[in-house]
Chain A
């Protein structure tokens, strides 16, 4: 499913004295089937951009191509609901959206809203819950009885049950402990590798972005400063310096090794790869 932003701008509170341009002239083509990160400081426009992906926001100017849907500014856009089935958006701290009396009911809620039969909705719910690693014993429990990490996975299952082609997640690991965060990120990666879903991740965690994503969109003041392979962005010293980007720990270490005279391949991404490269040099 194609994602193409053409000359997109978005202005909040357009007709009021405190109008604020959140997005200016965005041109973006997000690669299908890949994991793309969207990074940038608070206020860079990340959340605004992401809310255009399922038409929660309609651009002030320009148009967006989302698969078969064409969202144009200043036009009455129809069938937005259908779009929301194809682009699943998971907000930050999604566990707060749980409200049904049982987990299964909550996960089935979404598909039912989209007109899918009750039977199939519950089937999908079971399947989604199993994908996120929630055991059937918990299906009848009240969401409030679960731990934070479990609730989060249930909330994500609620979106997965819609079987979206594109999954957008805003800070999915926020507030989770390292184990929970790792489990979640592994889940997200598997959704991409196994189910070939296009994943878009908004994150502040450059370590996670570096380790897991294929492409990165770097935003600043409502504009796209960089869009390309994640590896290339974090290897570009100039860009990093100019934009005060926080270096992933691994990259920082790699750079310091280089400064100390060790040759480490630019494409070495993990600690394992770095250790191997350096060890080989030492053994020579």
Chain B
């Protein structure tokens, strides 16, 4: 039985899927910072165009994107309401029997919304086109300078990758435990407080027990195969930057630098 994969990785073969995960992660980080710089409207058009390109190059369905963005729209509607009632700056746009809506409320909400939307599009393009393990390698790469201050980046990366590898296994086990307990009369859906608590315990306790046993056995296996935390080890996975990766990095970096420059010169 196929299990759905962690996050929202969609196994396809788009342009973005074939980019180096480190380049993608760095680009997303740069762009997310860039999103928060401009105050005026026009730079956002550039960012939106970039977002559109990202979606296209990721092979993502527009419907999928809209579904992902929906929660933001609900949030912004709520935000609009709050701002209409609280922000009373700028010019009056609408007036009804003494109740006034100010332009600032709308502009402010709009700004926040657009920023959230852009952020979400960029990160979605990242997670949809990058396998969880690749993402871990990218994170490890970015955190690697921290090892200079004795931060155990390699060990943290190892922990994350093992955790990722076991998510499907544990979820299958959880399902098995739920079935076994249901067969003993446990009701996971109905019942009053004490019953619900005991139902949860009947799932959580075995799951933890299995997880700990597993951890012990895994540790033995790792030790037997020569793993010593803190000691140097090589990496079999080839991660090589190609020209297209450099182009992506160049584009995101130049956008960020451009925005910073323009901001500093009060052009926004």
Contact = CB atoms under 8 A, between A and B. Distances in A.
Interface in B137-181: 173, 176-177, 179-181
A84 B181 CA distance: 11
Contacts of A253: none
Interface in A141-176: 144, 158-159, 162
B1 A81 contact: no
B180 A91 contact: yes
A170 to B, nearest CB: 10
B1 A158 contact: no
A109 interface: yes
B37 to A, nearest CB: 41
B177 A97 contact: yes
B18 to A, nearest CB: 23
Contact of B183 (A20, A98, A109, A159): A159
Interface in B197-213: 201-202, 205-206, 209-210
Contacts of A20: 1-2
A159 B186 CA distance: 12
B180 A84 contact: no
B11 to A, nearest CB: 11
Contact of B177 (A88, A90, A96, A110): A96
Interface string A52-96: 001010000000000000000000000001001100111100101
A18 B182 CA distance: 27
Contacts of A97: 177, 180-181, 184, 202, 206
Contacts of B177: 96-97
Q: Taking each of A56, A81, A96, A111, which has the highest tally of chain B beta carbons within 10 Å of its own beta carbon?
A: A96
A96 B173 CA distance: 10
A109 to B, nearest CB: 7
Contacts of A96: 173, 176-177, 180, 206, 209-210
Nearest to A143: B209
A109 B2 CA distance: 33
B230 interface: no
A158 B184 contact: yes
Interface in A106-156: 109-111, 113-114, 144
B226 interface: no
B182 to A, nearest CB: 6
Given A12-B1, A91-B176, A96-B177, A110 B206 contact: no
Q: Taking each of B173, B181, B185, B205, which has the highest tally of chain A beta carbons within 10 Å of its own beta carbon?
A: B185
A110 B184 CA distance: 5
B134 interface: no
A12 B201 CA distance: 28
B206 A56 contact: no
A99 B180 CA distance: 12
Contacts of B186: 113
Chain A interface extent, by class: 20 to 34
A13 B181 CA distance: 23
A91 B173 CA distance: 12
B122 to A, nearest CB: 27
A111 B184 CA distance: 8
Contacts of B206: 96-99
A54 B182 CA distance: 10
A56 B185 CA distance: 11
A21 interface: no
A242 to B, nearest CB: 27
A13 to B, nearest CB: 8
Nearest to A144: B209
Contact of B184 (A12, A18, A109, A144): A109
A56 B179 contact: yes
A102 interface: no
A99 B178 CA distance: 13
A110 B185 contact: yes
B104 interface: no
Interface string A6-20: 000000110000101
A51 interface: yes
B185 A88 contact: no
A56 B202 contact: no
Given A99-B201, A99-B205, A144-B209, A56 B1 contact: no
Contact of A51 (B179, B184, B205, B209): B179
Nearest to A99: B205
6 contacts: A12-B1, A20-B1, A54-B183, A81-B187, A90-B183, A162-B184
Interface of A: 12-13, 18, 20, 51, 54, 56, 81, 84-85, 88-91, 94, 96-99, 109-111, 113-114, 144, 158-159, 162
- 10 nearest A-B residue pairs (beta carbon): A113-B185, A99-B205, A110-B184, A97-B180, A89-B183, A114-B185, A91-B180, A99-B206, A96-B206, A99-B202
